[in-house]
Structure 1
């Protein structure tokens, strides 16, 4: 289960209507702050120095301790979100990327003394505050705001696109990159079953041991969903790193979100880029078809990448040890973005 833990400790989406910027202008990065329910959020606003009005995109990082740049406390300086921001500015799109609660300069703020209260709703509130900040900038064309997200971040991106608050900025387009494809705990159960099957095949685990791991995990999932608590003691195969007393609130809140159901409420005709990978254990293309079907009413571009890791780079092994190698974004993804950013 080490692979499960590493993967799930490790969200983005680019939308655009962008055009190449003038050589007479230049891009600058400003350190900015905004607030969300008493939490001061730190971010980077990348924009034309002249603040010329144009399209803008909000970038939402992966789950876990992953900051505005995609750097992760577990796997190191990934930098994929910084690369995505640079790509977008090369295509005339300003960006805002930010340190969500618990990461980077934002930290825990008022949640420092009660970390268990940091659930999915807190992350969504932060994303809503971020997109409103972006919409308020003088260089933002409010009719051309997009959001790009990776992994779990895609659920918060979809929450922005389906926000019915009259004051909420309208999301013109949506990039869902290697997204969650189902309820969180169901996805982990799938990984438990897959790991059990592999270890049984290798002879490193008996059927009795495999059944014990699955039973313990299933009991923990049922208890978490029913009561918001976890069983005492450690779960087998390192699964306590995925579900434990300190994160059960956040996990249960996230688990209540069904990405397929959420996708059905995205406004019809919205340009959506949905990207999966055949080697990403979190967003394999075989598991993404239901999400694609739910997005059939949108202007969907469904891209099935080959050998691309969960950090958007070419790596068929999807090895977390390679995440911090600072390789360029996958050329396959760049080709898809080149077409999508003009929509």
Structure 2
């Protein structure tokens, strides 16, 4: 869940919907594009896909799906080894139930992976840039008369991005998919312990994360921490750590659905319960066998769990898409 940092230059805040009309399985796909606006003088266009249900005779709800940390693209795949197609599957399933889905390659992923590395300076990245991008896509969807309402769904890191963007745009509803309920520094500490860090290494991790959370850069001696917490990445992490997801969600007045798997090794059920406690009107939905990439896993071992991250043929957790469709259509 460590952040991959990518910053920017100024372009007009334009999101173009370009018709490509690929009909399959009762749905149509269009290309979507958004020229980033933060930071100033950075030129990068984010690309994505809008999946529409075929045969709609009146406006339908649309969900903006926001990816999690690292170079995760619109399909829930990445250049670092993740190959799940989870977001593509979710978009297809929701379209078949009458719900449109927009999803995009976040900066530093998918089609903009190599361009972003040349255009964006990691040390200039701030977490709010992700929020700005999401807001840009939401505004365009809100202006599209084909949609009866715009809902925001954020996965993992994208949950915090999504709840901030949803509140700033007055989106019709928000869905947290395996989203942290605590400050990301605390989540990272727990992940290290779950993955079996030796005590001395974990002590270094805790100290470094505590310092960053307080806004102070670190100079770790441990080789692993040096790569994970490079000087260029630290400003972005510090900007991320200023947020408490539970506090942010408590200020969102529209309907909320919190979805969490009990076999998620990256985000815990306690995180989902903390989000629920912060927003009493929210609905909490727990899936017994679902892991972090929204798929079922039979065993609880790390090996078996992480094997699913590279199996694009494995279906989504049964009932997940239906629960989301029911939430946005209620």
TM-score for the superposition, normalised by structure 1 = 0.79
Deviation, 1:307, is 2.0
**Whole-angstrom CA distance in 1 between matches of 2:271 and 2:127:** 22
Say whether 1:120 aligns with 2:127: yes
What is the Cα deviation at residue 248 of structure 1? 1.2
Partner of 1:340: 327
1:161 deviates by 2.4
Match of 1:254 among 240, 249, 254: 240
Secondary structure (helix, strand or coil) at the match of 1:230 reads coil
1:187 aligns with 2:187: yes
Q: In the alignment, is residue 151 of structure 1 matched against residue 187 of structure 2?
A: no
Residues 1:283 and 2:267 are matched in the alignment? yes
Aligned residues of 2:29 and 2:52 also touching (Cα < 8 A): yes
**Change in CA separation of 1:95 and 1:310 when aligned onto 2, cut-off 3 Å:** same
In the TM superposition, residue 64 of structure 1 has moved relative to its aligned partner by: 0.7
Query: Corresponding residue for 2:203?
Result: 215
- Asked if 1:313 corresponds to 2:301, the answer is no
State the match for 2:40 in structure 1: none
Matched length: 299
Measure, in 2, the Cα distance between the counterparts of 1:324 and 1:195: 19
Deviates more, 1:120-129 or 1:51-60: 51-60
Say if 1:111 and 1:117, in contact at 8 Å, map to a contact too: no
Work out the CA distance in 2 between the residues paired with 1:181 and 1:111: 33
The answer to whether the Cα contact below 8 Å between 1:75 and 1:321 also exists between their aligned partners in 2 is no
Q: Show the counterpart of 1:304.
A: 286
1:257-294 per-residue CA deviation (whole Å, 9 max, x = no partner) reads 10010011011xx2221112222122221332221111
Of 101, 104, 111, 1:98 maps to 104
Distance 1:29 1:92 in 2: 14
- Specify every segment of 5 or more residues in structure 1 that has no aligned partner in the other structure, as ranges: 1-6, 11-24, 200-204
| Partner SS for 2:219 | coil
Higher relative contact order (CA 8 A, sep 6+): 1
Partner of 2:49: 44
CA 1:303–1:240 in 2, change beyond 3 Å: closer, same or farther?
A: farther
What are the equivalent positions in structure 2 for 1:59-138 lying under 5 Å apart?
A: 59-107=65-113, 109=116, 112=119, 114-138=121-145
Q: Give the whole-Å Cα distance in 2 for the aligned partners of 1:67 and 1:48.
A: 22
For 1:9 and 1:250, locate their aligned partners in 2 and report how far apart those are by CA, in whole Å. 8
Cα separation, 2, equivalents of 1:240 and 1:273: 37
| Alignment CA distance shift 1:50-1:305 (3 Å) | closer
Q: CA RMSD in A?
A: 2.6
Q: For structure 1, which segment, 280-289 or 171-180, has the greater mean C-alpha deviation from structure 2 after superposition?
A: 280-289
Instruction: Work out the CA distance in 1 between the residues paired with 2:261 and 2:278.
Output: 18
Cα displacement (A) at 1:314:
0.2
Q: Which moved more, 1:126-135 or 1:72-81?
A: 72-81
The answer as to whether partners of 1:228 and 1:249 remain within 8 angstroms in 2 is no
Structure-2 residue corresponding to 1:27: 27
Distance 1:261 1:312, change over 3 A: same
Return closer, same or farther for 1:157/1:48 CA change in 2, 3 Å cut-off. Answer: same
Classify 1:313/1:250 alpha carbon distance in 2 versus 1 (closer, same or farther; 3 Å). Answer: same
SS at structure 2 position matched to 1:310 = coil
TM-score, normalization by structure 2: 0.81
- Kept in 2, the 8 Å contact 1:34–1:133? The answer is no
Counterpart Cα distance in 2 of 1:227 and 1:84: 37
Unmatched runs of 5 consecutive residues or more in structure 2: 5-24, 38-42
